[in-house]
Protein backbone atom coordinates (compact mmCIF):
# COMPACT_ATOMS: atom_id res chain seq x y z
CA UNK A 1 0.00 0.00 0.00
CA UNK A 2 1.20 3.48 -0.85
CA UNK A 3 2.47 5.28 2.27
CA UNK A 4 0.36 8.43 1.95
CA UNK A 5 -2.78 6.41 1.38
CA UNK A 6 -1.99 4.40 4.51
CA UNK A 7 -1.51 7.61 6.50
CA UNK A 8 -4.76 9.08 5.19
CA UNK A 9 -6.82 6.02 6.03
CA UNK A 10 -5.30 4.84 9.30
CA UNK A 11 -8.11 5.53 11.74
CA UNK A 12 -9.16 4.45 15.18
CA UNK A 13 -10.84 1.19 14.13
CA UNK A 14 -12.89 0.21 17.17
CA UNK A 15 -15.16 -2.37 15.57
CA UNK A 16 -13.10 -5.48 14.90
CA UNK A 17 -14.12 -8.95 13.78
CA UNK A 18 -13.80 -11.21 16.82
CA UNK A 19 -14.09 -14.34 14.66
CA UNK A 20 -11.35 -13.64 12.15
CA UNK A 21 -7.99 -14.59 13.62
CA UNK A 22 -4.84 -12.55 13.11
CA UNK A 23 -1.76 -14.60 12.24
CA UNK A 24 1.29 -14.59 14.48
CA UNK A 25 3.33 -13.69 11.42
CA UNK A 26 1.30 -10.50 10.93
CA UNK A 27 1.80 -9.63 14.59
CA UNK A 28 5.56 -10.11 14.24
CA UNK A 29 5.49 -7.93 11.13
CA UNK A 30 3.70 -4.99 12.75
CA UNK A 31 5.86 -5.17 15.87
CA UNK A 32 8.98 -5.26 13.76
CA UNK A 33 7.73 -2.08 12.05
CA UNK A 34 7.15 -0.56 15.50
CA UNK A 35 10.73 -1.29 16.52
CA UNK A 36 12.06 0.66 13.51
CA UNK A 37 10.70 3.88 15.03
CA UNK A 38 12.97 6.33 16.84
CA UNK A 39 13.52 6.26 20.60
CA UNK A 40 15.42 8.64 22.84
CA UNK A 41 19.15 7.87 22.56
CA UNK A 42 18.12 4.79 20.57
CA UNK A 43 17.61 3.12 23.93
CA UNK A 44 14.73 1.06 22.51
CA UNK A 45 12.90 1.04 25.80
CA UNK A 46 9.63 -0.30 24.43
CA UNK A 47 8.47 -3.81 25.24
CA UNK A 48 5.48 -5.10 23.28
CA UNK A 49 3.18 -7.33 25.25
CA UNK A 50 0.99 -9.32 22.85
CA UNK A 51 -2.13 -10.70 24.50
CA UNK A 52 -3.94 -13.53 22.70
CA UNK A 53 -5.07 -15.66 25.63
CA UNK A 54 -8.89 -15.57 25.70
CA UNK A 55 -9.25 -15.33 29.46
CA UNK A 56 -6.65 -12.65 29.95
CA UNK A 57 -8.14 -10.63 27.08
CA UNK A 58 -11.57 -10.88 28.69
CA UNK A 59 -10.18 -9.70 32.02
CA UNK A 60 -8.31 -6.71 30.67
CA UNK A 61 -11.25 -5.95 28.37
CA UNK A 62 -13.52 -5.72 31.38
CA UNK A 63 -11.05 -3.36 33.10
CA UNK A 64 -10.90 -1.26 29.94
CA UNK A 65 -14.71 -1.04 29.72
CA UNK A 66 -14.99 -0.02 33.34
CA UNK A 67 -12.27 2.62 32.88
CA UNK A 68 -13.98 4.08 29.81
CA UNK A 69 -17.33 4.25 31.57
CA UNK A 70 -15.65 6.11 34.46
CA UNK A 71 -14.17 8.82 32.21
CA UNK A 72 -16.97 9.03 29.64
CA UNK A 73 -19.08 11.52 31.59
CA UNK A 74 -16.16 13.91 32.05
CA UNK A 75 -15.28 13.61 28.38
CA UNK A 76 -18.84 14.47 27.29
CA UNK A 77 -19.06 17.34 29.79
CA UNK A 78 -15.73 18.79 28.63
CA UNK A 79 -16.82 18.78 25.00
CA UNK A 80 -20.35 20.01 25.72
CA UNK A 81 -22.58 20.18 22.69
CA UNK A 82 -19.58 19.51 20.48
CA UNK A 83 -19.30 15.94 21.80
CA UNK A 84 -18.88 13.96 18.57
CA UNK A 85 -21.60 11.34 18.60
CA UNK A 86 -19.84 9.01 16.17
CA UNK A 87 -16.70 8.86 18.31
CA UNK A 88 -18.71 8.27 21.46
CA UNK A 89 -20.77 5.52 19.85
CA UNK A 90 -17.67 3.79 18.57
CA UNK A 91 -15.80 4.29 21.87
CA UNK A 92 -18.80 2.83 23.71
CA UNK A 93 -18.73 -0.13 21.35
CA UNK A 94 -15.04 -0.75 22.00
CA UNK A 95 -15.56 -0.46 25.73
CA UNK A 96 -17.99 -3.40 25.51
CA UNK A 97 -15.87 -5.43 23.08
CA UNK A 98 -12.19 -4.75 23.82
CA UNK A 99 -11.77 -8.21 25.31
CA UNK A 100 -13.02 -9.87 22.11
CA UNK A 101 -10.36 -8.35 19.87
CA UNK A 102 -8.31 -11.15 18.30
CA UNK A 103 -5.13 -9.58 19.67
CA UNK A 104 -4.43 -6.82 22.17
CA UNK A 105 -0.99 -5.22 22.08
CA UNK A 106 0.23 -3.38 25.17
CA UNK A 107 3.30 -1.18 24.70
CA UNK A 108 5.30 -1.05 27.93
CA UNK A 109 8.46 0.56 29.25
CA UNK A 110 10.34 1.14 32.46
CA UNK A 111 10.71 4.83 31.57
CA UNK A 112 8.50 7.39 33.31
CA UNK A 113 7.84 9.13 30.02
CA UNK A 114 6.00 7.52 27.08
CA UNK A 115 7.65 9.77 24.48
CA UNK A 116 9.71 6.90 23.12
CA UNK A 117 6.67 4.65 22.88
CA UNK A 118 4.32 6.56 20.62
CA UNK A 119 6.49 6.71 17.48
CA UNK A 120 6.57 2.91 17.55
CA UNK A 121 2.81 2.78 18.05
CA UNK A 122 2.25 4.89 14.96
CA UNK A 123 4.54 2.64 12.91
CA UNK A 124 2.56 -0.32 14.18
CA UNK A 125 -0.73 1.31 13.14
CA UNK A 126 0.54 2.02 9.64
CA UNK A 127 1.99 -1.45 9.20
CA UNK A 128 -1.27 -2.96 10.41
CA UNK A 129 -3.20 -0.77 7.97
CA UNK A 130 -1.09 -2.01 5.09
CA UNK A 131 -1.95 -5.60 6.08
CA UNK A 132 -5.67 -4.74 6.29
CA UNK A 133 -5.66 -4.87 10.09
CA UNK A 134 -7.47 -2.29 12.19
CA UNK A 135 -6.04 -0.82 15.39
CA UNK A 136 -6.95 1.89 17.89
CA UNK A 137 -4.74 3.74 20.31
CA UNK A 138 -6.40 3.68 23.72
CA UNK A 139 -5.11 4.77 27.10
CA UNK A 140 -8.04 4.88 29.52
CA UNK A 141 -7.08 1.55 31.13
CA UNK A 142 -4.41 3.57 32.90
CA UNK A 143 -7.08 4.63 35.35
CA UNK A 144 -6.99 1.06 36.63
CA UNK A 145 -3.52 0.16 35.40
CA UNK A 146 -2.55 -1.86 38.47
CA UNK A 147 -5.35 -4.30 37.74
CA UNK A 148 -4.22 -4.74 34.13
CA UNK A 149 -0.66 -5.29 35.27
CA UNK A 150 -1.78 -7.95 37.71
CA UNK A 151 -3.58 -9.90 34.97
CA UNK A 152 -0.50 -9.85 32.75
CA UNK A 153 2.23 -10.29 35.38
CA UNK A 154 3.75 -6.92 34.53
CA UNK A 155 6.46 -5.94 37.06
CA UNK A 156 5.74 -3.00 39.38
CA UNK A 157 8.32 -0.70 37.78
CA UNK A 158 7.01 -1.23 34.23
CA UNK A 159 4.34 1.08 32.78
CA UNK A 160 1.65 -0.05 30.37
CA UNK A 161 1.14 2.96 28.16
CA UNK A 162 -1.66 1.89 25.87
CA UNK A 163 -4.05 -0.91 25.04
CA UNK A 164 -4.22 -1.52 21.30
CA UNK A 165 -6.86 -3.90 19.90
CA UNK A 166 -5.80 -5.48 16.61
CA UNK A 167 -8.08 -7.27 14.17
CA UNK A 168 -9.83 -7.17 10.84
CA UNK A 169 -12.30 -4.26 10.75
CA UNK A 170 -16.02 -4.84 10.60
CA UNK A 171 -16.49 -1.46 8.94
CA UNK A 172 -14.92 0.34 6.03
CA UNK A 173 -11.65 2.28 5.93
CA UNK A 174 -12.49 5.95 5.73
CA UNK A 175 -10.31 8.97 5.35
CA UNK A 176 -9.45 10.66 8.64
CA UNK A 177 -11.18 14.03 9.03
CA UNK A 178 -8.78 16.67 10.31
CA UNK A 179 -8.59 20.43 10.62
CA UNK A 180 -7.22 22.15 7.50
CA UNK A 181 -3.43 22.47 7.65
CA UNK A 182 -3.64 26.17 6.79
CA UNK A 183 -5.38 26.57 10.14
CA UNK A 184 -2.94 24.52 12.21
CA UNK A 185 0.33 25.57 10.61
CA UNK A 186 2.23 28.75 11.53
CA UNK A 187 5.20 30.17 9.70
CA UNK A 188 8.15 31.81 11.48
CA UNK A 189 6.12 33.19 14.36
CA UNK A 190 3.38 31.53 16.36
CA UNK A 191 -0.01 32.35 14.91
CA UNK A 192 1.29 33.57 11.53
CA UNK A 193 -0.70 31.76 8.87
CA UNK A 194 -0.08 31.48 5.16
CA UNK A 195 -2.28 30.08 2.37
CA UNK A 196 -0.84 26.90 0.94
CA UNK A 197 -0.80 28.19 -2.59
CA UNK A 198 1.27 31.34 -1.77
State the residues that interact with ligand FMN by CB under 6 A.
11-12, 14, 87, 91, 94, 136-140, 176
Residue with smaller CB distance to ligand FMN, 81 or 188? 81
Query: By the 8 A CB rule, do 52 and 22 touch?
Result: no
CB of 135 to ligand FMN, least distance (A): 10
Residue with smaller CB distance to ligand FMN, 12 or 158? 12
CB of 195 to ligand FMN, least distance (A): 25
Residue with smaller CB distance to ligand FMN, 86 or 198? 86
Residue with smaller CB distance to ligand FMN, 27 or 94? 94
CB of 187 to ligand FMN, least distance (A): 26
CB of 194 to ligand FMN, least distance (A): 26
CB of 176 to ligand FMN, least distance (A): 4
Residue with smaller CB distance to ligand FMN, 23 or 174? 174
Amino acid sequence: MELFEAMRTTRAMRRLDPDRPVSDEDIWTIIEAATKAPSGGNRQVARWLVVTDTERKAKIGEIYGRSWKAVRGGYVAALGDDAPTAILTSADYLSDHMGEAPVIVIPCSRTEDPASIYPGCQNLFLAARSLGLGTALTTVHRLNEAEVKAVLDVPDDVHTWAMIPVGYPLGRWGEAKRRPIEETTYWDTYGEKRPRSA
